[in-house]
């Protein structure tokens, strides 16, 4: 993302973040009565890469969080470990995302500042101790264990790639993908307290796989990419259907911001 475009996105989100609802297109698909008031929400991360969670998240050093889709802004992940000292697995096979994380690691260990999303103003604030609580896993999350094509975005300055070819491009790279159950087994995790999914249109199949597998986290954060980049005229129906499917499993949407939705599981 170019610096100028990044600044415009940041300002837009700063203006809307005063209210968790903002002008989110997801308001048409959720139960508005279940949305928490702003005072009961906590926003972590930059204006561009941040997410809303309940203020009463009750995350601890024993909590395990999966953050799927990193790009070049992992400010949310750093904020999680900084505030709660929890364990965070960052899941992303994108070469630039891997390079970005490696750059952060090297900078922290050498005592240098490292920019978020190539910004000249925003820098990560994370200690070497908390950095150890971040684990980067260079695979993709999907509904199958397979090597899949990740299509590059139209703008070469952007980093997010899509297995469903959300932006209808031709260039791609291939990477190993795992189901959530396979990923948990690989990492040796028996549960997930928080799962963030930002996977450029592939969220639908992952949602269905989680429901079928009966593996749902206590908190679930999802970007519904078709809210801003619809594949066709049925995009709204797909978003509504999957939010309704989550609701039937006991997941309640408690906040929306832009194309992001935050859910909690009614245990």
CATH class label, 3-9+30-227+234-265: alpha beta
From 56-65, 155-164, 172-181, 188-197, the region with the lowest mean pLDDT: 155-164
Domain ranges for the chain, please list them: 3-9+30-227+234-265
pTM for the whole structure: 0.90
Query: Which residues make Cβ contacts (< 8 Å) with residue 72, sequence separation at least 6?
Result: 1, 96, 97, 100, 116, 117, 118, 159
- What backbone phi and psi angles, to 5 degrees, belong to 164? -100, 5
pLDDT, tens digit (0-9, with 9 covering 90-100), for 13-47: 334 333 345 689 999 999 999 999 999 999 999 99
- CA of residue 65 relative to chain centroid, distance: 11
pLDDT value of position 267:
63
Say whether pLDDT at 239 is over 90. Answer: yes
pLDDT value of position 254:
97
How is the beta sheet containing 140-141 ordered, strand by strand?
140-141, 172-178, 146-151
pLDDT value of position 266:
78
């Amino acid at each position: 993302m170019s610096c100028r475009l990044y600044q415009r996105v940041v300002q837009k989100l700063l203006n809307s973040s005063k209210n968790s609802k903002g002008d989110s297109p997801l308001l048409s698909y959720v139960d508005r009565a279940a949305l928490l008031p702003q005072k009961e929400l906590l926003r972590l991360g930059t204006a561009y890469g941040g997410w809303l969670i309940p203020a009463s998240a009750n995350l601890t050093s024993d909590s395990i969080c999966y953050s799927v889709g990193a790009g070049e802004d992992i400010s949310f992940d750093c904020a999680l470990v900084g505030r709660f000292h929890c364990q965070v697995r960052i899941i992303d096979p994108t070469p630039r995302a891997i390079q970005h994380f490696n750059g952060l690691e090297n900078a922290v260990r050498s005592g240098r500042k490292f920019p978020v999303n190539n910004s000249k103003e925003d820098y990560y604030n994370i200690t070497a101790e908390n950095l150890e609580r971040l684990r980067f896993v260079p695979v993709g999350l999907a509904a199958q264990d397979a090597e899949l094509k990740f299509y590059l975005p139209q703008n070469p300055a952007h980093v997010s790639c899509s297995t469903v070819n959300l932006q209808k491009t031709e260039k791609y790279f291939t990477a190993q993908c795992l189901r959530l159950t396979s990923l948990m087994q690989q990492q040796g995790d028996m549960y997930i307290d928080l799962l963030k999914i930002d996977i450029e249109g592939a969220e639908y199949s992952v949602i269905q796989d989680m429901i079928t597998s009966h593996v749902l986290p206590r908190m679930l954060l999802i970007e519904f990419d078709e809210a801003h980049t619809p594949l066709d005229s049925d995009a709204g129906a797909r978003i509504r259907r999957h939010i309704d499917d989550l609701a039937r499993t006991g997941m309640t949407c408690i906040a929306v911001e832009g194309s992001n939705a935050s859910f909690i599981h009614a245990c």
